[in-house]
Structure 1
Amino acid sequence: MTIGVVLFDMEGVLSHYDRAARAARLAELTGTTPEAVREAIWDSGLEARADAGELAPDVYLRALGELLGCAMDRDIWLAARQASITPNDAAIALAARAAQRCRIAVLTNNSRLVTDHLDLLNPPVARLFGERVHASASFGAVKPAARAYLGCIEQLGATPPQTLFIDDSETNVQGAREAGLHACCFVDVETLERDLRRFGVLDD
């Protein structure tokens, strides 16, 4: 079946993600330490719950502030999150080329805080993909759960055999395949270009 949609992961594919930079910036803004930030966001499981849609954005922010012992608002959180993201211009350019042949979209393991503020956090991705950037939280599951992929595909009006998924995590790639999608693991832009050509979604 012809590929009608290429579904990209964001961080690790369309952008580089620096967790240490995020922790350092949030520690600076809240007067805590990077270690305290890591424990509050990741070790506690708080971020994973938000990414899975278990916590609404404001509930997540309030809980994070309580764990860090400080007031937490969107501006502070977004400033730290912005510090973690560097767009991968070469990968974005390939996605733009693929868009000439098929539809493109993003499925990212994140809460709606990221997708709702993508114009600030990742302007090149926001400009290219527009409203077709979907957070896992919207589907009540994170990759590699089948529910994440299938919920996103349903919203796009596509089917798994029509969809090619690109992710830098082999676990997420395997999850997509088990859900019936075609999938490739992102290694670098050269490999991505070859894979997109192989599936017929790049013009020569």
Structure 2
Amino acid sequence: MPSPIRLAIFDMDDVLCHYDRDRRLAELSRLSGRSINEILTDIWASGFEDRADAGAMDAETYLSGFGERLGYAITRDEWVEARRLGMVPFPDSLALLARVKEKATVAVLTNNGFLTGEEIDRLFPGLRHLVDDRVFVSARFGTKKPDPEIYRRLCAEFGVAPEEAFFTDDKPWNVAGAVKAGLEGHVFDGAEGLRRALNRFALV
């Protein structure tokens, strides 16, 4: 028999909400006057976002660097609004998380930088309260999913052995990293599949 699950970890984007990067990019293009392809090349394809997700820069350094690459001195409020426009909560997933919370500790682990962590209440109202302030951005750990070490460190935060934790993410490679670290994993493909996976561990 598997160990009882004491900690259930959920990815954020495309698990608890739909992340529409195209909508975010359209807003950044409107603000800056630059094309979406230029923005993708200078910010995402350059590795800048990956470095931020891995904790290479604090929130203000990130925002300044983002603006430099965007070619527009974007404010924090504008950055938040563009990011928020691309986030649409999944009610069914959030309802499942609320049910799991009755039986285990719940947490969110998202590949994002410090600015996302600081602004989570504006980006995703109610999420922090739902998980009792347990929203973790990868930058805090100095690495990012799918590095197995990030899952081990998160489990250690709660004094939970990896085999006592469950993790779900829409990206198979992130789930594979968690399984390598010793966690139980599920590749998110919708709320019904997640419900079945959680049911196997008596979490719903």
Give the TM-score normalised by structure 2.
Answer: 0.95
Map Cα deviations across residues 110-169 of structure 1 (whole Å, 9 max, x no partner): 012112111111113223113100000000111000121112111232220110001111
Opposite residue 68 of structure 2, the aligned amino acid is: E
Q: For residue 159 of structure 2, what is the aligned residue in structure 1?
A: 157
Q: For residue 66 of structure 2, what is the aligned residue in structure 1?
A: 64
Name structure 1 gaps, 5 residues minimum: none
Opposite residue 106 of structure 2, the aligned amino acid is: I
| 1: CA distance, partners of 2:129 / 2:35 | 34
Q: For residue 94 of structure 1, what is the aligned residue in structure 2?
A: 96
% same residue: 40
1:38-49 alignment runs, 5 A limit: 38-49=40-51
| 2: CA distance, partners of 1:36 / 1:201 | 45
Name structure 2 gaps, 5 residues minimum: none
Aligned residues: 202
| 2: CA distance, partners of 1:148 / 1:31 | 37
- Shifted more, 118-127 versus 182-191: the winner is 118-127
Contact 1:87 1:124 in 2 (8 A): no
Q: For residue 117 of structure 2, what is the aligned residue in structure 1?
A: 115
Q: For residue 24 of structure 1, what is the aligned residue in structure 2?
A: 26
Secondary structure at 1:100's aligned position in 2?
coil
| 2: CA distance, partners of 1:111 / 1:153 | 20
Q: For residue 38 of structure 2, what is the aligned residue in structure 1?
A: 36
Secondary structure at 1:62's aligned position in 2?
helix
Shift of 1:65: 1.4
**Runs of 4+ with >3 A deviation:** none
| 1: CA distance, partners of 2:184 / 2:196 | 15
Q: For residue 142 of structure 1, what is the aligned residue in structure 2?
A: 144
